[in-house]
Amino acid sequence: MKNSPVIRQASVTDAPGVSRLLRSAMLTYCADSGISSTMLEAMTESIESVADRIKRQVCLIAVKDGEIVGTICIKECPNPLVYSFSDTTYDFLKDYGSCSYISRFAVEEKYRKTGLGIDLITNAIDLARGKGTDLILLHSAASNENMVDFYGKRGFDLIDSENSRGYMRGLFANRSDSL
């Protein structure tokens, strides 16, 4: 992409911009998923909780002309079984000693379908692989065909789904042995 946004690690001072982007992007995510915005934690997070996540995790941001136009967070998880909610999930996760988990992935509407989302998730995957992670997990609404397709094209397979938050949430996995 010509004159592409710059991707860098977020700092605590970026929290207000990240918060603004997440709220805006999650409205589209909810509409595309057929779910209410009241069902998403990201819609009620304070700037302080966003800042805390930036301190505790690797949060990448894409910046264009001083504005945050993309974000993705990835954290190490020593026990992937914390994401197990059924026998199917347990059977899949039981053989992994650790994983990385992607969350709070968002791209400003005018930058969607430009390759920025691909760049962000590729950077997050590369960071995890660089630390020796064999398994990367994420959740997404199983009803959001755009995101399911996007993740599928990046090597993520739907391994299970559940409805504990009032909508069908899929658990997606990207395994280094499937690349």
The per-residue pLDDT for range 24-82, each reduced to its tens digit, is 999 999 999 999 888 888 888 999 999 999 999 999 999 999 999 999 999 999 999 99
- 163 Cβ contact partners less than 8 Å away, ≥ 6 residues apart: 169
CATH number of 6-178: 3.40.630.30
CB of 84 closer than 8 Å to CB of 90: yes
Residues in the chain: 179
Beta bridge partners of 58: 74
Determine the Cα–Cα distance for residues 54 and 146; give it in Å rounded to an integer: 27
pLDDT of residue 43: 84
> What does the pLDDT look like over 110-125, one tens digit per residue?
999 999 999 999 999 9
Is residue 109 predicted with pLDDT exceeding 70? Answer: yes
Q: What's the confidence (pLDDT) of residue 179? A: 40
User: What is residue 2's predicted lDDT score, i.e. its pLDDT?
Assistant: 60
pLDDT in tens, 133-171: 999 999 999 999 999 999 999 999 999 999 988 889 999
CA 22-73-155 angle, to 5 degrees, is: 105
pTM of the model: 0.93
Distance CA 86, CA 90 (A): 6
pLDDT digits (tens, 9 = 90+) for 3-27: 789 999 999 999 999 999 999 999 9
Give me the torsion for CA of 136, 140, 143, 145, rounded to 10°. Answer: -60
Q: What tokens appear for 155 in the block?
A: 């090597």
